[in-house]
A = this chain, B = another copy of it.
């Protein structure tokens, strides 16, 4: 089996200009537009049994909006490509669109096109176009993963581990912790927070933690050629999450780092700029060197390891 990482390197090798484009959550085109695409596949990302159609519709758009948020941009337009199985009812399709359009309305995004075709499993690919809120040229493209520098601080904008806990609760059919299930099914993209960061910082790297907090830290460290150390006891975790992890007998730290789908923004900026940011929490620092590390509560520093990362692929 070919791994996601192998395919990605292959694509980057083969594609001209890949260095310019294929390294961030979204690509910047025509000076100030950002464009991104993401897919939800039945049985990979959701099941008809566990999800209401409204929830699938919301999530399909929300995960794309989160990529726009991580570029500090304002969402504008969406294209919705649907591959649907023959057995789907009109009621399901209606519910799906209701959920999608509710999310579109909330985040001021217009659905301007798409495509419709048949397949065995449901496959929803959405492409989103947004506009950067800072004038290109004035600042280095805000949000790029390669923007981190030694002396920067690492910040996050919300709790971690909640989505992966929600997924576990859903799978084990526990009748409790509905907040966590909702966070998993209907994530809220941090659109205004992304724009706030873009406006207030001169230079920032931003990612959304779609593949986990550890993945963000590893990628930023790699693309920026720096060393990053985050501290376990500074990572925001909710009381609900602690209770749920206890009940499920699973390691909360593992889900916090590698669980994924939290869709919270993670980034780096200078100490000076971080002071201007609202609703962030400092969880670590950037130093000279290489690699991504976690300082555990016991004081030990361990390397963050991509192979533990949550993989849909």
Contacts and interface: CB of A to CB of B under 8 A. Distances in A.
Classify the interface of chain A: helix, strand, loop or mixed: mixed
A254 interface: no
Q: Which of A93, A110, A113, A121 has the most CB of B within 10 A?
A: A113
Interface string A65-76: 000000000001
A14 interface: yes
Interface in A83-128: 83-84, 86-90, 93-94, 97-98, 101, 105, 110-121, 123, 125, 127
A80 to B, nearest CB: 8
A8 to B, nearest CB: 7
A36 interface: yes
Interface string A108-152: 001111111111110101010100000000000000000000000
A123 B115 contact: no
Interface in A266-280: none
A105 to B, nearest CB: 8
A89 B10 CA distance: 12
A93 B123 contact: no
A129 B117 CA distance: 21
B117 A39 contact: yes
Contacts of A307: none
Contacts of A84: 7
Contacts of A21: 110-113
A26 interface: yes
A300 interface: no
A298 interface: no
A91 to B, nearest CB: 10
A14 B44 contact: no
Given A90-B6, A98-B14, A313 B129 contact: no
A193 interface: no
Interface in A248-301: none
A37 B2 contact: no
Contacts of A177: none
A89 B4 CA distance: 12
A38 interface: yes
21 contacts: A2-B89, A2-B93, A7-B84, A7-B90, A8-B116, A14-B94, A15-B97, A15-B111, A21-B113, A22-B114, A29-B76, A36-B79, A37-B114, A39-B123, A39-B125, A44-B118, A79-B127, A81-B127, A115-B125, A120-B120, A123-B123
